[in-house]
Each structure stands twice: as C-alpha cells, then as structure tokens.
Homo-oligomer: A and B are copies of this chain.
Amino acid sequence: MAAAPIPVHTMSSFEDADTEETLTCLQMTLYHPDHLQTGRFQAIRFCHREKLPSHKVVNFGRHSSTCHYIFQDKQVSRIQFSLQLFRDFNSSVLSFEIKNMSQKTSLIVDNHELGYLNKVKLPPKCILRFGDYQCLVEKQDGESLTFFETQFALSPTCLLQENLWPLRMPVPENGPQSTLYSTLPTEMDENEL
C-alpha cells in the first residue's frame, strides 16, 4: 500500500521556503564562586539558543539599557565587554571579536590581558576572565552570514581546573599545577594596569 500523498499546498510551501542554513553558535559556560548566593545570573536565560542578527554588537555588563546580557553585580562595569562578528577577507566564516569596555577591570582572554578598548579575535575555544568571573567560550561554525546564535550554560565548578581546561596548560618544569590562574603570566600587567 502506497504512503498517503503529501497535500499540494504543504509541498508547495516546503519547496518555496528558503534553504535552511546552519548558524554560527557561541556557547558560553559561566562560572562565579558565588553564583548560588546571589541573583547575579538571574537575567541570563540558560540552556536556550538565542538567534541574533550578525550586525549586532552584543554588550555584556550591568547596565540594562545598553547591555544585551546583564550581570546583576555592582562589581561588574556598566559595559564590561562587547562581542561582535566580522568576516576575514576572502573567508566565508564568521569570526568573533571581543573588546574590553571597562575602564576599571582588565579582561583576560586565555593569557592575554586586555585594557580599556583593547580587542582581540576570539580563538575557537578560550576562557575569559574578569574579576571573579570565568567564562568558557566555544564557537561552532555555521553557514549563515546574516544570523548567529548564543547559548549559555552555568558551571558549578571552577573552569580553570586542569581536567576541564588542559589544552592550554603550560607544562611547568616542576610538575603540573591545579589551576591556570596561578600559572598563566598576564601580558602587559606593568604597562596597562
């Protein structure tokens, strides 16, 4: 017995629809030692993919009218940092750039310390640090140039543990250490801060 035919109008709208494109996704896993005590992350919607236009500059910080993602914490700057997309010449891949927007707090991207208005291109996987905050950032490439996605997770444990972040751990001559925090040199700490 043959399968029931697909109704003509359904087939037509299916055939006429734009070809679906995969979206570049930025997965951000947040950690703060006091995440249980306060509502600092209550404005962040976890485990949800948010679709955003690729021309959008996404600010992270305390100020609700200028930031898209808000940390409810007085130790966070009104705008802490911004993320935005760009495209390298001769490339169809979207890349992310991060810029430190805080005049008070430095932003550390792996082992690079960014002062106010310093910026870097994000590697496909990295750890951001500002104040007591840590954020593991992982990028999945997609086809669309028009939109991208973000997704947040919350980590109950420090992200700088050796087992969670082994790839960029330097191997000290006197044996492994438990966290990157104590072993990574911070670039430009004498000049910038």
Interface residues of A (CB under 8 A from B): 54-55, 57, 79, 82, 84-90, 94, 99, 101, 103, 115-119, 145-146, 187-188, 191-192
23 example contacts (A-B, Cβ-Cβ < 8 A) are as follows: A54-B117, A55-B79, A57-B57, A86-B99, A86-B117, A86-B118, A86-B119, A87-B115, A87-B116, A87-B117, A88-B118, A89-B115, A89-B118, A89-B187, A89-B188, A89-B192, A90-B188, A90-B191, A90-B192, A94-B117, A103-B146, A116-B145, A117-B145
Complexed CA–CA distance, A87 and B101 (Å): 11
Cβ distance A76 to chain B, nearest Cβ, rounded Å? 15
Oligomer copy total = 2
In the bound complex, residues from chain B placing their C-beta under 8 Å from that of A99 are 86
Give the residue name and chain of the B residue nearest to A94 (CB): B117
**A117 with B188, Cβ < 8 A, contacts A55-B101, A57-B57, A79-B55 known:** no
Chain B residues near A84: list those with CB within 8 A: 57
Verify A85–B188 contact, CB threshold 8 A: no
Contacts of A82 on B, CB cut-off 8 Å?
55
Contacts of A57 in B (CB 8 A): 57, 84
CB distance from A120 to the nearest CB of B (A): 9
CA A87 to CA B115, docked complex, whole Å = 9
* Residues of chain B contacted by A191 (CB below 8 angstroms): 90
CA distance A86 to B101 in the complex (A): 10
A103 proximity list for chain B (CB < 8 A): 145-146
Q: Which residues of B contact A55 (CB under 8 A)?
A: 79, 82, 101, 117
Do A87 and B118 have beta carbons less than 8 Å apart? yes
In the complex, besides A89-B187, A89-B192, 14 extra interface pairs with C-beta distance below 8 angstroms are A54-B117, A55-B82, A55-B101, A57-B84, A86-B99, A86-B119, A87-B115, A87-B116, A87-B118, A88-B118, A89-B118, A90-B188, A90-B192, A94-B117
